[in-house]
Amino acid sequence: MSEHKKKKKPFALRLLKFLMDVGVFVLIVLAISYVLSTFVAQRILVHNVSMQDTLMEGDVVLMDKFSYRFRDPERFQIICFDSDYEREGLIKRIIGMPGETIMISHGMIFINGNQLKDVKGLTPIEDAGLAAEEIHLGEDEYFVVGDNRDKSIDSRFAEVGNVKKDKIIGRAGLIIYPFNRFGMIR
């Protein structure tokens, strides 16, 4: 036999090296998954009908948790936020911005006394709730409303109220399931 041939390592050592390699790989995957789900994106299941026809009950939405670290939410964006009302967070559309005055009268939304040019195709609001009187938003508060206005518990009601910026988890960006509804959220 040639002296240049390497001796084969015992099976136990090869198995141990393989298991260590797999363990390191699994730890790396878990670390990347943690960073992505904590700081970048999160999957949210829509549990109710308050955002129909934009989002349907059972839709799985990919939420962008990253962009609001660098810019503020904008009017008409759909956000997910922590709420005492719903354990897994609520999904609603931003209508009122920090510092504005909101009022709902005759089914129409008024911001600082001017009628809002709302998202097309939404029904008028029958129950103004708390917004039947003027609501003044603080410098870190947003007024949110569901697209299915008559079936939505939102900022019009004490259960939800105004949403503080630090309660916003992220912006709903993409429907990922069911596959026939896959696409960007508008």
Q: Domain 41-184: give its CATH code.
A: 2.10.109.10
23-75 pLDDT, tens digit per residue, is 999 999 888 878 777 777 788 888 888 898 899 999 999 899 888 888 999 99
160-185 confidence digits (pLDDT tens): 999 999 999 999 988 999 999 998 88
Is the preceding omega at residue 53 within 30 degrees of 0, hence cis? Answer: yes
pLDDT tens for each residue of 131-163: 999 999 999 999 999 999 888 999 999 999 999
Instruction: Please give, one letter per residue, the 3-state secondary structure of the chain.
Output: CCCCCCCCCCHHHHHHHHHHHHHHHHHHHHHHHHHHHHHHEEEEECCCCCCCCCCCCCCEEEEECCHHHCCCCCCCCEEEECCCCCCCCEEEEEEECCCCEEEEECCEEEECCEECCCCCCCCCCCCCHHHHCCEECCCCEEEEECCCHHHCCCCCCCCCCCEEHHHEEEEEEEEEECHHHCEECC
**pLDDT tens digit string along 100-126?**
999 999 999 999 999 998 777 777 789
Model-wide pTM > 0.75: yes
Residues 83, 139: Cα–Cα separation, whole Å = 19
Q: Give the residue numbers annotated as catalytic, written as ranges.
A: 50, 92
